Amino acid sequence: MHQSCLEQEYWQPQFSADGYGSCFTKKAQNCSHVSDSLEGCLLVYKEEALELLEIRELPLRDLFRYNSLVFTGPLST
């Protein structure tokens, strides 16, 4: 199985358990040197309310390090 599929199976259920939906769009593979790249865009949203709190660009390998800072806390009303 492709590495990005395995990683998605790892992180997607973690977000779902906390009430977040998520989707990942992989970077276009128009060059041979990015064919195994895991670069892309990850969208994580609260399933019961959608409000843009912050936009931050970071490598997926750093996502779990920042998870508690970026994706937790109550949404403002």
- Given a contact cutoff of 8 angstroms between Cβ atoms, the answer to whether 13 and 7 are in contact is no
- Neighbouring-strand partners of residue 45: 21
Q: What is the mean pLDDT of the chain?
A: 64
> Can you give the residue ranges of every domain in the chain?
3-70
Q: Within 13 Å of residue 28, how many CA atoms lie on the same side as its CB?
A: 2
34/27 Cα distance (integer angstroms): 8
Q: Give CA 16 to chain center in angstroms.
A: 12
pLDDT in tens, 37-47: 667 777 777 77
pLDDT in tens, 56-67: 666 666 665 544
Higher-confidence position of 2 and 41: 41
pTM of full prediction above 0.75: no
